[in-house]
Amino acid sequence: MSNLKILINGIVKENPTFVLMLGMCPTLGTTSSALNGMAMGLATLFVLVCSNMAISLFKKLIPDAVRIPSFIVIIATFVTVVQMVMQGYFPELYKSLGLFIPLIVVNCIVLGRAESFAAKNGVIPSFFDGLGIGLGFTLALTLLGSLRELLGTGKFFSLSVYPDQYGSLLFVLAPGAFIVLGYLVAVMNKLIKSN
């Protein structure tokens, strides 16, 4: 499989949110606005790329029996780096994403890619896999966040589109997240099948 194919695979065919249905907790929890969704996606993207590369680089040094704890330590290290950088340089964003940042450690997408891809492939393909899956996750979260923000508050990336009293609060709350996600998955399935 070529690197480009790996990249596209992560965005479309194995999109973590719409196809694999992984990492639902941050997906539903952080997408109350487009910016929050995108920031969460980018944080996960960074962790995915770094952990995928580190794990594929050191896979020979990690005995099979202790691979899960090793992966978790590597992933947790990168997550903590993201957390500290965000806290220091983007305090507003950190405030709104809050607990979801440290929870990237237990995001099953990250560990899933480490186990199923990075532990079996070289550094370069692992990089593209992390990038593809990360971009797929970012795009999905941004799309979900944009729709919820637009339907709920009448804004798109905080820019007013229509007066917010016409927005439906439902879409800002958790049930709205499920509804929008459901429709997006349906649309995505239709598109993949028709291809």
Partner 1 sequence: MKKLKSTLPNMFFSLTLICIVAAAILASVNEITAGPIASTKQAALEAAIKAVTPKYDNNPVQEATSIVAADGDSLMLYPAKLGDSFVGVAIETRAIGYGGEMTILVGFDGNGTLVNYSILQHAETPGLGARAEKWFRTDKNKQRVIGRSMKKGTLTVTKDGGDVDAITAATITSRAFLKAINKAYNAYAKREADADSGATLQETNIFSSARKEGGIK
Contact positions vs partner 1 (CB under 8 A): 32, 58-66, 69-70, 73-74, 76-77, 80-81, 84-85, 87-89, 91, 152-153, 169, 172-173
Minimal distance, residue 160 CB to partner 1, in Å: 16
Minimal distance, residue 171 CB to partner 1, in Å: 10
Q: Which helix (H) or strand (E) holds 155?
A: strand 155-156
CB 51 within 8 A of CB 71: yes
Nearer to partner 1, 112 or 154 (CB): 154
Nearer to partner 1, 125 or 152 (CB): 152
CB 148 within 8 A of CB 177: yes
Distances (CA, A) of 87 to 16, 41, 84, 95, 129: 27, 17, 5, 8, 28
Residue 93: closest CA among 30, 48, 50:
30
Nearer to partner 1, 113 or 148 (CB): 148
Residue type, 119: A
Minimal distance, residue 88 CB to partner 1, in Å: 3
Minimal distance, residue 38 CB to partner 1, in Å: 18
Q: What is the rounded CA–CA span in Å between residue 150 and residue 162?
A: 9
Minimal distance, residue 20 CB to partner 1, in Å: 27
Residue 107: closest CA among 30, 166, 171:
30
Nearer to partner 1, 169 or 186 (CB): 169
Nearer to partner 1, 141 or 177 (CB): 177
Nearer to partner 1, 164 or 189 (CB): 164
Identify the DSSP state of 122. Answer: -
Identify the DSSP state of 22. Answer: -
Minimal distance, residue 189 CB to partner 1, in Å: 30
